[in-house]
Amino acid sequence: MTKTASHRSAAPPERGGQAPDEPRRAGRARRRVVATASVLVLAAAWYLATEVFAMVTPLVLPSPVDVVTAGVSVATEPYSGSTLAGHVWASLQTVLGGWLLAIVIGVPLGSAMGSSKIVDTLAGPVFNVLRPIPPIAWIPLAIVWFGIGQGARFFVVFLAAAIPCVINAREGVRQVDPVLLRAARTLGAGTLTTVRRVALPSAAPLTFTGIRLSLGNAWMTLVGAELVAASAGLGFLLLDARRSLQPDLLFAAMLVIGLLGALFGAGMRWLEPRLVPWEAGHRDR
Amino acid sequence: MTVELTRSRSATTIARPLRTAGSVLASLTILVVLWWLVTDGIGLVGADMFASPGSVADRLAELVTTPFAGETLTGHVSASLQRWVLGLAAAVLLGVPLGMLMAEQADVDAAVTPVFEALRFIPPLAWVPLAILWLGASVTAQALVVFVAAFPPCLLNAHRAVRGIDPVLRRAARTLGAGRWREVVWVAVPTGLPTVLAGVAIAMTNGWMALIGAELVGARSGLGFMILRGQSNAAPDIIVAAMVVIGIIGAAMTALMGLATRRVLRWQHTDTHRET
């Protein structure tokens, strides 16, 4: 943290001979001003180009006013079957269901692979060979197996979410310091105590990172799956908005997808230090 | 001492690829045997649900010469690769310089970051309908989706690479009389390159995954389109054949990038710097 802060202000303080804190604060204030200005300029350019001067046709770039209107109207009146809340709920069900199943299956599998050589040699190869195939590429086969319905989407989301769970749980267990394990055993701990007090706490942070990454993967893949096989949900809304040439609705749906994605990310980052508080620096895979 | 060091290092550099090749081969064999058992061996799954390795191999050989859904297999592969290269090249050429610029210029960083962070939360595949609306079901529409998927890792890692340069090294170079240009060539590039290359490697796989998704939704050729057509023709062997090709190309990309990275970074003792 201190490192990034000092890097950020590395340029100004070398020039000025002020107190060390002064330019840093000035730099941060300047940063806030520039960031706000940038967002405002972009929004104004969007508004002016579409609403005021009509430089681009609404079919290519709808005005922000239209996007908001489309968002409000889909939130209140049903569009292709249900209101926005209904579409969001359909997407959430699939994503959370697939994600939870991936955790329930992926984490134990990964932990088993990390702790047992036999399981690793049995499951590892299958996993390694299947990994380069993008989860979304399974959707046609999933449709053959489960029909165009919840099942196919659920399966693909599960696949996408399971990968980081397995990899990180495996890595987490493997990184448990063997010295600590031996120390615990020397001090008289049984297998259960060793797992509970030593192995679990040291494997948990990396495993949790995997669970966090897998929610992002699930969300990404869900949108793709709903573009191919769905009759409700946010991905379906995107596709339908394009088919009926309603770019304002398309933008509104993209906005909602982005917001939910951001919300997921923020929620997981909020959860992480609460669930694994003993891990100081949070590492990515 | 030095002799021993070099010897042990060259031994591991030869042994490592050999060992990986061996384990990959073993993995493949195990998987194909399992796959055969499930389909032809004990007939757990019927041919209408899944395809046996034999039928997939036959179908692959046939697809090389006989067109399916408008193109032969080579035609679909080259269509996919073309879109991928286009989108990836744009992402690298824009993302890496922009990331470096952001790391050097605080104002650029402040201006770009909020926009970049806001857009980053929209999954690449959510751009597919918009890309089709803007550009039609064309090469550029799919390339745009590849670009959206490949751009963030390029930018982020370039940013991180430049930020991560030890300021002491820079000041040392300047003290020793290096100008701006020489500082970049002799300090910034060697220290930052591993991180940038790791970002490009991630961009390659991200772009490939997004491309397949994009081709499933709106395309008239390509491997993603091929699996979709296989599904609508109720031909699991075509679906699985295309999936195998997608997987092989994906794995080959990763392997080639790893090889290239090791080649380019020969001066480094440590393995690779994967940070994202």
Q: Using CB atoms, pick whichever of B110, B118, B208 lies closest to residue A31.
A: B110
Nearest CA in chain B to A128: B27
Q: Is the pLDDT of residue B248 over 80?
A: yes
Contact B121 A143 (CB under 8 A): no
CA-to-CA distance for B128 and B178, rounded, in angstroms?
47
How many domains is chain B built from? 2
Question: By the CB < 8 Å criterion, does A28 face chain B?
Answer: no
How far off is chain A from B123, nearest CA to CA, in Å? Answer: 5
Q: Is the pLDDT of residue A269 over 90?
A: no
How far off is chain B from A196, nearest CA to CA, in Å? Answer: 30
Q: State the average pLDDT over residues A76-95.
A: 89
Query: Do B28 and B64 share a domain, yes or no?
Result: no
Look up residue A282 and give its DSSP letter.
P
Q: Using CB atoms, pick whichever of B26, B230, B250 lies closest to residue A132.
A: B250
Report the percentage of chain A scoring pLDDT > 70. Answer: 90
- Give me the domain span that covers residue B34: 1-44
Under 8 Å between Cβ of B128 and A227: yes
Q: Is the pLDDT of residue A18 over 70?
A: no
Query: Do B37 and B122 share a domain, yes or no?
Result: no
Helix axes B236-264, B53-65, angle to 10 degrees: 80
What CA–CA distances, in Å, run from B165 to A221, A238, B169, B265, B270?
36, 43, 8, 16, 17
Under 8 Å between Cβ of A135 and A223: no
pLDDT score for A164: 92
Query: Do B107 and B244 share a domain, yes or no?
Result: yes
Contact A242 B231 (CB under 8 A): no
Residues of chain A with Cβ-Cβ distance to B28 below 8 Å are 125, 129
Q: Is the pLDDT of residue A116 over 50?
A: yes
B122 vs A19, residue with greater confidence: B122
3-class DSSP assignment, residue A21? helix
What CA–CA distances, in Å, run from B181 to A1, A62, B79, B185?
30, 44, 40, 6
**Chain B contacts in chain A segment 54-83 (CB below 8 A):** 59-60
Contact B228 A137 (CB under 8 A): no
Query: Do B108 and B224 share a domain, yes or no?
Result: yes
pLDDT score for A97: 94
CA-to-CA distance for A28 and B3, rounded, in angstroms?
52
Contact A38 B216 (CB under 8 A): no
Query: Do B17 and B115 share a domain, yes or no?
Result: no
How many Cβ contacts (< 8 angstroms) between chains A and B?
167
Q: Is the pLDDT of residue B275 over 70?
A: no
Which has the closest alpha carbon to B213: A253, A245, A140, A162? A140
Chosen for mutation from B27, B202, B253 (greatest number of chain A CBs closer than 10 Å) is B27
Query: Do B229 and B127 share a domain, yes or no?
Result: yes
Q: Using CB atoms, pick whichever of A32, A132, A223 lies closest to residue B126.
A: A223
Residues of chain A with Cβ-Cβ distance to B107 below 8 Å are 30, 34
* Range list for CATH 1.10.3720.10 in chain A: 71-275
Query: Do B164 and B141 share a domain, yes or no?
Result: yes
pLDDT score for A49: 87
Query: Do B28 and B63 share a domain, yes or no?
Result: no
Query: Do B136 and B84 share a domain, yes or no?
Result: yes
pLDDT tens-digit series, residues B160-171: 998 888 888 888
Q: Which superfamily does CATH assign the domain made up of A71-275 to?
A: MetI-like (1.10.3720.10)
Query: Do B97 and B29 share a domain, yes or no?
Result: no
Q: For the residues of A171-195, what is the DSSP string, one character each?
A: HHHHTS-HHHHHHHHHTT--HHHHI
Match 């804190």 to its residue by tokens.
A21
Q: Is the pLDDT of residue B2 over 50?
A: no
Q: State the average pLDDT over residues B41-61.
A: 83
Look up residue A50 and give its DSSP letter.
I
Q: For the residues of chain B, what is the DSSP string, one character each?
A: -HHHHHHHHHHHHHHHHHHHHHHHHHHHHHHHHHHHIIIIIS--S-TTT---HHHHHHHHHHHHHS-BTTB-HHHHHHHHHHHHHHHHHHHHHHHHHHHHHHHH-HHHHHHHHHHHHHHHTS-GGGGHHHHHHHH-SSHHHHHHHHHHHHHHHHHHHHHHHHHTS-HHHHHHHHHTT--HHHHIIIIIHHHHHHHHHHHHHHHHHHHHHHHHHHHHHS-SSSHHHHHHHHHHTT-HHHHHHHHHHHHHHHHHHHHHHHHHHHHHTTT-SS------
Under 8 Å between Cβ of A284 and A209: yes
Q: State the average pLDDT over residues A253-269.
A: 91
A53 vs B142, residue with greater confidence: B142
CA-to-CA distance for B132 and B145, rounded, in angstroms?
10
Residues of chain B with Cβ-Cβ distance to A87 below 8 Å are none
Q: Is the pLDDT of residue A134 over 60?
A: yes
* Long-range contacts, stretch A8-13, CB < 8 angstroms, 24+ apart: A8/B106, A10/B167, A11/B106
Query: Do B99 and B207 share a domain, yes or no?
Result: yes
What CA–CA distances, in Å, run from B59 to B41, B236, B246?
19, 10, 15
Confidence at B235, pLDDT banded by 50, 70, 90:
confident
Contact B231 A128 (CB under 8 A): no
CATH number at residue B118: 1.10.3720.10
pLDDT tens-digit series, residues A140-185: 889 888 888 888 999 999 999 999 999 999 999 998 888 888 888 8
How far off is chain B from A243, nearest CA to CA, in Å? Answer: 9
Nearest CA in chain B to A38: B111
Q: Is the pLDDT of residue A17 over 60?
A: no
Which residues share a beta bridge with B148?
A: none
pLDDT score for B6: 40
Dihedral sign, Cα of residue A265, residue A271, residue A273, residue A279: negative
Under 8 Å between Cβ of A152 and A221: no
Contact B228 A141 (CB under 8 A): no
Q: Which of A215-219, A272-276, B11-15 has the lowest mean pLDDT?
A: B11-15
Q: State the average pLDDT over residues A44-61.
A: 85
Contact B213 A136 (CB under 8 A): yes
Confidence at A20, pLDDT banded by 50, 70, 90:
low
CA-to-CA distance for B49 and B29, rounded, in angstroms?
22
Q: Is the pLDDT of residue A101 over 50?
A: yes
pLDDT score for B112: 92
**Chain B contacts in chain A segment 158-217 (CB below 8 A):** none
Confidence at A5, pLDDT banded by 50, 70, 90:
very low
In a domain, B24, yes or no: yes
Q: Which of A224-228, B217-221, B272-276 has the lowest mean pLDDT?
A: B272-276
Query: Do B59 and B37 share a domain, yes or no?
Result: no
Question: By the CB < 8 Å criterion, does A266 face chain B?
Answer: no
